[in-house]
A = this chain, B = another copy of it.
Amino acid sequence: MKIGFVGLGNMGSGMARNLIKAGHSLTVYNRTLQRAEELRPLGAKAVASPGEAALVADIVVTMLADDRAVEETVMGRGGISESLPEGATHIGMSTISVALARRLASIHGDKKQFYVSAPVFGRPDAAAAAKLFIVAAGPARQVHLGQPLLDAMGQKTFVVGEEASAANLIKLAGNFMISTVIESLAEACALVRKSGSDPNQLLEVLTGSLFTAPVYRNYGSMIAADNFEPVGFKLPLGLKDNRLVLAAAQEVAVPMPMASLIGDHFIAAMAQGLSEADWAAVARIAYRNAGL
């Protein structure tokens, strides 16, 4: 099976390496060439446009920053949809809007190509370690066909139906859930800190009782320590995903007041100059407003 891979950022480069490690032969494209060149010694072929990566591919995988990047890469000049062969499949792993996922399914369908959405949970270290959680949706046969690739990149795949956008919806809902964990920990730690107690005691109680989940341990230790290094997922991306879940919710007339509240805190964090920080640093807004 011939694989094209487009988008070798913090997430994509680890994922592509894992595909190569698993024995797949990759044709790769990245906007800044260097990142693609780095994969050459491992056997990847680097090309000059997304379209070339798709040209003879059975499956082309995209892992890009946002809707705009995906639109350009797929629908732009020299883009994937122009050159992907009939019957071949595009597996979109970027975190994009539900609306764009729907359009991608339609655009590829018009060209007798297939589209599968397979967004992921996990930060760059999980991508490098092939420990991603993947949520996949699309035509059953193509999802099945792509499964070996997903297995090489993640620890587990959840298949959530045949409509590709359903995977993106669940991805966005999941990121919303993570953002609520961050904000709730921030407010609780602000309370505990300002009352003169140690937020690590709160964390120990939580993660030792009902909140025995990685998301509480990982974000909890950052927030309790008020230390958000290393940066795994930048704050503007968190704000972007917040806007995407709110857009998906508005489309079906679902108010999400908690998402709105967190969105306002993301914006406040941008205004405080935290645009290069990890999204968990939004906790600083709760801390600041508490005078900490």
**Pairwise interchain contact A261-B258, C-beta atoms closer than 8 A:** yes
The stretch from A9-17, A18-26, A223-231, A264-272 touching chain B is A264-272
Question: Would you call the interface of chain A mostly helix, strand, loop, or mixed?
Answer: helix
Task: Give the contacts of A242-260 with B (CB-CB under 8 A).
Answer: 243, 245, 248-250, 252-260
Query: A29-37, A52-60, A154-162: which one contacts chain B?
Result: A154-162
**CB-contact partner of A158 in B204, B211, B216, under 8 A:** B204
Q: Give the complex CA separation of A250 and B271 in angstroms.
A: 10
Please, how many angstroms separate the alpha-carbon atoms of A260 and B250 in the complex? Answer: 12
Contact mask A200-218 → B, CB, 8 Å, 1/0?
Answer: 0110111011111111100
Count of A interface residues, CB-CB < 8 Å: 73
A190 — which chain B residues lie within 8 A by C-beta? 254, 256
Bound-complex Cα distance A176 to B192 (A) = 12
A160 to B208 CA separation, bound complex (whole angstroms): 13
* Interface stretch (choices A61-69, A73-81, A284-292): A284-292
Say whether A129 faces chain B, with CB atoms less than 8 Å apart. no
For residue A183, CB closer than 8 A to chain B, the reply is yes
Separation of A270 and B255 alpha carbons in the complex (Å): 10
Bound state CA distance, A170 and B224, in angstroms? 14
Nearest chain B CB to A262 CB, angstrom units = 8
Residue in chain B with minimal CB distance to A204: B158
Q: A191-B252, A253-B268, A289-B289 are in contact. List 15 more A-B contacts (CB 8 A).
A: A121-B209, A133-B209, A158-B205, A158-B209, A166-B201, A174-B205, A177-B185, A177-B206, A180-B181, A187-B254, A187-B258, A210-B215, A260-B263, A268-B289, A288-B288
